[in-house]
Chain A
Amino acid sequence: MTAMTSTPRPATQVAQSVPRVRPLVPARLDFAGVLGAEGRKLFSLRSTWWTLGLTVALLALMAVGQAAAIADSLGSPEGAAAFADVHGAELVTGGYQFGMLTIAVLGALLITNEYSSGMIRSTFAAVPTRLPVLAAKAIALAGVTVVTSVIGFAASYAATLPILREHDQVPSLTDGTTWQIVGGATAFLVAAALFALGVGTLLRSTAASVTVALTVLLLLPGILQFITLDWVQNLVEYLPLPAATAFVTVSDAFGGSGGFTPWQGAAVVAAWALFPMIAAAVALRRRDA
């Protein structure tokens, strides 16, 4: 039995003498290819279409609902006074808090479904440097979020148009505020998606990532507003959704802008997207897949 346990022959350096098989299949790895693959991944899953369809529906339906409710209250003098400074674009984008939820779920799933299925190993075998995968996912996700938002807000515009007309609130395309609100809402949805992608990459589990993302985006601002301590309220300002109101809303009726200017709010929201993504990139490089 001693022969069996003897040390194996050491690895020898004979790499130069190895004849290579001439590859017959043209293949070239580059970022465009990785981006194309991430796009294909998104659109080859039914869950993507469901999530995006639901996002468009929520953006439109919630906007119509809010617009109708506001129109209703305009009958009373107090209601009319409260909503006098409402901008038409706020009514059109009114569903963004709901669109945020489905878009965040999509962002988290984009990476957590790879970990839960084992697909991540195929992905990293094809792109062993890994970071291009995360970058491509971020770009594909941002792109699909922008397109979905545009479709959603267009649908929302069409659906709320009768109410907007009736109250002379149709937002003007030549009005800078219209662009600030619609562009801001779109940018916020992109940020929410990237935030969830970063969290998903860090946590890898779908349940944990969705819970964390929705807690930060939706639950914390809602819960913490009941704790009326000054320092708590100051902190709440820095959560993504409250910070976003600085550029997504202009009227008091729509949550009003808090202490931030629109650009300050945008910076806070961008930080929420950026820092989890940076942490995710570091973790992705270091961890075993």
Chain B
Amino acid sequence: MIEAHELTKRYGDKTAVHGISFTVRPGTVTGFLGPNGAGKSTTMRMIVGLDAPTSGRVTVNGKRYAEHRTPLREVGALLEAKAVHPGRSARAHLAVMAATHHISPKRVDDVIELTGLATVANKRVGGFSLGMGQRLGIASALLADPQTLILDEPVNGLDPEGVQWVRTLVRQLAAQGRTVFLSSHLMSEMAQTADQLLVIGKGRIITSGPVQEVIDGVLDSTVRVRSPQATDLAALLRAAGGTITSPEPGALEVRGLSGELIGDTAVAHRIAVHELATQQASLEAAYMALTQDAVEYRSDTTAPEPILTGATR
């Protein structure tokens, strides 16, 4: 359980996190979604007390993180790949972390095994790929069998097998009743992993709720209808609560009504329909629409299109 109340972080005159309040519940995987620079990492660092909030409060399992007597058992955190000295082996790093909490060497071996690091455990971390660094970070987070897991961009740099592994792992941990809070800047990743979503942009929560609810809310699907009696149909659909636009004579674009309902309405009023197609925006497009006002670093989309794109179509 993570509870944030009016959490704010300012660095100089730049506000990274802007009075956000949220609750992350146990037994679920909660996705923290937002563009780069939205405040995800800052928020996560404040949860484990690495950064002090400028104002507001965040607690883990009812207390500030630093007030817990056995911090690593409360929260296991992967805050960035390779928060590790490059000269130490993976095993030595985990042994150092374990030593602070008197965690047994057996447990160190277990998390090495669990995260698939067995073959590289005695190699120095400096030579690790990003993916192996992520696995070590996850091993470190799991070390004390924590109640709550905080993973900042855990699938970054992982190969597809690794991505699948993280998904399965976090689902299992949540099923055991743990709190799992993981961040990503990819909506598609979140749609496959998370139960609950917390969408952040420019340091403010944009929306939150169950993943499907958030996605449905954003997706804004339209139904394209062609009919010789378009005007009559439009009147009926408007009465049913739809928003209608007509891009050309005989064609309608309907928002707010399902394809089924439109088809049934047409049949009931003996209106011929020549085309009925639900057009859904892609998840990424929807996400971009959701966060477009909140993107910190944006590439210039007004640049002229490269000539090649026409040829490759």
Contact = CB atoms under 8 A, between A and B. Distances in A.
Interface stretch (B30-38, B98-106, B181-189, B223-231): B98-106
B217 interface: yes
B102 A125 contact: no
Nearest to B103: A27
Contact of A118 (B69, B83, B207): B83
Contacts of B147: 20-21, 23
Interface residues of B, number: 66
A36 B99 contact: yes
B72 A44 contact: no
Contacts of A21: 145, 147, 176-178
Contacts of B262: none
Nearest to B89: A44
Nearest to B99: A37
Interface string B133-152: 00000001001110100000
A19 interface: yes
Interface string B76-108: 010110111111110011011101111110010
A8 B99 contact: no
B234 interface: no
B165 interface: no
B26 A33 contact: no
B99 A44 contact: no
A127 B4 CA distance: 21
Interface string A172-210: 000000000000000000000000000000000000000
Contacts of A124: 49-50
Contacts of B25: 18
A5 B200 CA distance: 11
A223 interface: no
A75 interface: no
A256 B208 CA distance: 74
B177 A19 contact: yes
Interface residues of A, number: 53
Interface in A253-289: 286, 288-289
Contacts of A47: 87
B23 interface: yes
Given A15-B61, A34-B100, A121 B79 contact: yes
A126 B71 contact: yes
Nearest to A127: B100
Given A9-B208, A125-B72, A37 B87 contact: no
Interface of B: 1, 3-5, 20-23, 25-26, 45, 48-52, 61-62, 65-66, 68-73, 75, 77, 79-80, 82-89, 92-93, 95-97, 99-104, 107, 140, 143-145, 147, 176-178, 198, 205-208, 217-218, 290
Given A21-B177, A28-B70, A121-B83, 9 more contacts: A11-B22, A18-B61, A26-B104, A27-B73, A33-B99, A119-B84, A121-B79, A126-B100, A289-B50
18 contacts: A3-B207, A4-B207, A4-B290, A5-B206, A7-B205, A8-B207, A21-B147, A25-B103, A25-B144, A29-B70, A29-B71, A40-B96, A44-B96, A46-B87, A118-B84, A126-B71, A126-B97, A127-B71
